[in-house]
Amino acid sequence: MDNENRREGIFGMANPGRFGIERVAYWLMRLSGLGLLAYFVAHIYETSTILRGRAGWDDFLALTQTTEGHIVLAIVIAMCVFHTVNGIRVMLGHGGVGVGKPARPDYPYDPASQNYRHKIGIYSAIILAAIAMMYGLAVMFGE
């Protein structure tokens, strides 16, 4: 923390603990985005190995056939599903869908933009990501 400017920086941005499920979704969105970016780079490197012929391609692909490789791919599946579903929710919100209508607020001021529709969207993204990850693990580890 920068004392004089009191800037929380990256840790403050990512802190999921204080502001409910919406901040958790914000945090997971960034984390999954960075994860998918890393996967994208790795994927480009992976496909480039074909330039070394069939042996090079098979060598690299063998990495994904290990236990660690399966776990990484399962996490990629979860990140992909969460990022997609939550991204649709956020895009709808950015278009003004599901954020409520302006009205005179009554105490205790439950913000209309933090309504059950968006909470359902966030929980759906998390649950679907978990299901997809478990299905992926079942396919990869199942005989």
Partner 1 sequence: MAQVSSIANEQTSTPLSSPKTILLRISRYNPEHDESSRFMEFDVPYQRWTTVLEAILEVKKHFDHSVAVRYSCRQATCGSCGMIINGKPRLACFTKISELNSEVVTVEPMNNFPIIRDLAVKFEKLFESHQKIKPYLVRDDTELETDQKEFLQSPEEVEQYIQFANCIKCGLCNSACPTMATDSSFVGPQALAQAYRYVADSRDKGKDSRLKIIDDSHGIWRCHFAGSCSQVCPKGVDPAMGIQLLRGYLLGFRS
Nearest to partner 1 of 47, 113 (CB atom) = 113
Which residues sit at the interface with partner 1, rule CB under 8 A? 3-10, 12-14, 17-20, 22-23, 25-26, 29, 90, 93-96, 99-100, 102-107, 109, 111-114, 118
Could you tell me the smallest distance in angstroms from the CB atom of residue 10 to partner 1?
6
| Burial category of 21 from C-beta neighbours within 10 Å (exposed 0-12, middle 13-18, buried 19 and up) | middle
Of 13, 107, 49, the C-alpha closest to 1 is 13
Torsion angle in degrees (nearest 10) through CA of 11, 134, 137, 30: -20
Could you tell me the smallest distance in angstroms from the CB atom of residue 37 to partner 1?
16
Under 8 Å between Cβ of 132 and 78: yes
Could you tell me the smallest distance in angstroms from the CB atom of residue 38 to partner 1?
20
Could you tell me the smallest distance in angstroms from the CB atom of residue 110 to partner 1?
8
State how far the Cα of 98 lies from the Cα of 112, in Å rounded to an integer: 9
Nearest to partner 1 of 70, 117 (CB atom) = 117
Q: At 104, phi and psi to the nearest 5?
A: -65, 120
Nearest to partner 1 of 122, 133 (CB atom) = 122
Residue type, 73: L
